[in-house]
Amino acid sequence: MPKDIYAHISDQELLDKFKKDQDNLWLGILLQRYTMMLLGVCMKYLKDEEAAKDAVQQVFLKVITELQKYPVDYLKSWLYTIARNHCLMQLRDKTKLISVSEDMHLADDPLSNLSAWDKEQSLILLEQALNELNAPQKTCVTLFYLQKKSYQEIVAGTGYSLMQVKSYIQNGKRNLKLLVAQKLSQS
């Protein structure tokens, strides 16, 4: 079959056909258009060709389920975000797997050398900064980091979309760092 037999069909038309017919043929054609972009994104983050290829396959599987749940207006940027987040989660999980005995000792914990008073002051600064975030960021950051809720649990509990939750967490975390740094420089 010639490679560009469906070139005249736009991404949105293919997406609409997939949603209407639930025929994976349309989704396959659509994803094939973006395979190289997704591979590039995954290579950028994972720095390993085999891991990147595996990640693209995982992204494809995630796309199949996520397209059933959410409306997608800008497919290319949506796919990019799914791939980036997948890679970041893999990298985050990989760093959790490093054993304590290999590279770290509990005494190397930056908070372990602080006095109880310094730790308390750090927590107070963090709490103040958290209260300065806008409501959606504060809610999502609190649920994700303090209550250890998953993205899906946060989506279910707040009514925000998955993309909104991820954005609020990412921006909230960045804003927290900036606010804490600002408060430290003032003291």
Q: Is residue 177 a part of any domain in this protein?
A: yes
Q: Is residue 71 a part of any domain in this protein?
A: yes
Does residue 69 sit in the same domain as residue 17? yes
Q: What is the pLDDT of residue 39?
A: 93
Does residue 35 sit in the same domain as residue 92? yes
Does residue 83 sit in the same domain as residue 120? no
What is the Cα–Cα distance from 88 to 78, expressed in whole angstroms? Answer: 15
pLDDT in tens, 145-177: 888 889 999 999 999 999 999 999 999 999 988
Domains in the chain: how many in total?
A: 2
CATH of the domain at 138: 1.10.10.10
Average the pLDDT over 129-142 and give the result: 91
DSSP 6-33: TTTS-HHHHHHHHHHH--HHHHHHHHHH
Strands (E), the chain: none
Q: Is residue 20 a part of any domain in this protein?
A: yes
Lowest mean pLDDT among 2-11, 77-86, 91-100, 103-112: 103-112
Decide if pLDDT at 181 tops 50: yes
Q: Is residue 53 a part of any domain in this protein?
A: yes
What is the Cα–Cα distance from 14 to 27, expressed in whole angstroms? Answer: 7
Q: What is the pLDDT of residue 10?
A: 87
Amino acid at 4: D
Does residue 73 sit in the same domain as residue 116? no
pLDDT in tens, 50-84: 999 999 999 988 888 888 777 887 888 889 989 99
Q: Which residue has the tokens 């899906």?
A: 152
In Å, the largest CA–CA distance within the chain is 71
Q: What is the pLDDT of residue 18?
A: 84
Q: Is residue 6 a part of any domain in this protein?
A: no
Domain residue limits at 91: 11-96
pTM of the model: 0.49
CATH of the domain at 62: 1.10.1740.10
Q: Take residue 118 and report the two structure tokens written for it.
A: 């310094």
Q: Is residue 159 a part of any domain in this protein?
A: yes
pLDDT in tens, 9-48: 888 888 888 888 888 888 888 889 999 999 999 999 999 9
What is the Cα–Cα distance from 81 to 87, expressed in whole angstroms? Answer: 10
Q: Which of 68, 96, 124 is the last residue of a domain?
A: 96
What is the Cα–Cα distance from 88 to 184, expressed in whole angstroms? Answer: 29
